[in-house]
Amino acid sequence: MQKALKPGQRLGIMGGTFNPVHLGHLRAAEEIAESLKLDQIYFMPSARPPHKSPNPLVGYWHRLEMLKLAVSDRPGFWASDLENHLPTPSYTVNTVRAFKKAWSARTGIFFLVGLDSFMTLTGWHQYRELLNLASFVVFGRAGIEPSFDDMRAMLRRDVDPKVKWNSKTETFTAPNIKPIYFRPGGKLAISSTDLRQRLEAGASVRYLVPEPVRVYIEKNGLYRPDNRPE
């Protein structure tokens, strides 16, 4: 794992398929890093996503390489290949456990996730343990439902009826879980699905992804109908 952290530092993990990474991912991470004063954020592409297999899903190494290019000029942001070293399918709970093992117990671990992904929580392997291992930071996505009320209802139904919203700290709390942050944020209505559709149609993705990522996609002919991967 890259770069030793000093005890007491705050570390973020952002999981996803990143098929491909885009400016919506990076801007969300930037805003959370700023507001929660995170020292480092690890972007972690799923080696084999347990839930969905978007079509086409380009190979793991391409997705990791694009992430490396995307974060190379931002100190404190890293592309992590940790999930490639863990058993598949890539369960988030195993990833967070591996992180906790690698870092000092005094390190604060925050798991960054968009509200659309967080709403699928009950389908996540050992999700109650997971909420105990890391503090989740959930952010809204521009133009995408669900809402804050949907999130609160889900938490009360599927996690604990005693879940409370604390508007001062902007967290949901309950006895046996770490605080769950919620940030409405989400200014950039960009999705990888939309990018794949554009690329498949031979359209431009300039200004939707970091320029080195756009060049990489073009050079390798990714997401084109005549270059079906895997």
- Contacting residues toward ligand ATP, per CB under 6 A: 16-19, 24-25, 28, 54, 113-114, 116-117, 139, 141, 186, 188, 190-193
> Cβ distance 67 to 18 under 8 Å?
yes
Cβ closest to ligand ATP, residue 52 vs residue 162: 52
Cβ closest to ligand ATP, residue 1 vs residue 188: 188
Cβ closest to ligand ATP, residue 25 vs residue 62: 25
| H helix runs in the chain, sequence order | 23-36, 60-71, 92-102, 115-118, 127-133, 148-158, 192-200, 211-220
Cβ closest to ligand ATP, residue 123 vs residue 161: 123
Minimum distance from residue 87 beta carbon to ligand ATP (Å) = 21
Residue nearest to ligand ATP (CB): 114
Written as six digits, the tokens of 197 are 């559709």
The CA R_g of the chain, rounded to the nearest whole Å, is: 17
Minimum distance from residue 1 beta carbon to ligand ATP (Å) = 20
- CB neighbour list of residue 108: distance below 8 Å, 6 or more residues apart: 8, 9, 10, 11, 135
Minimum distance from residue 138 beta carbon to ligand ATP (Å) = 9
Minimum distance from residue 8 beta carbon to ligand ATP (Å) = 26
Residue 101 three-state SS: helix
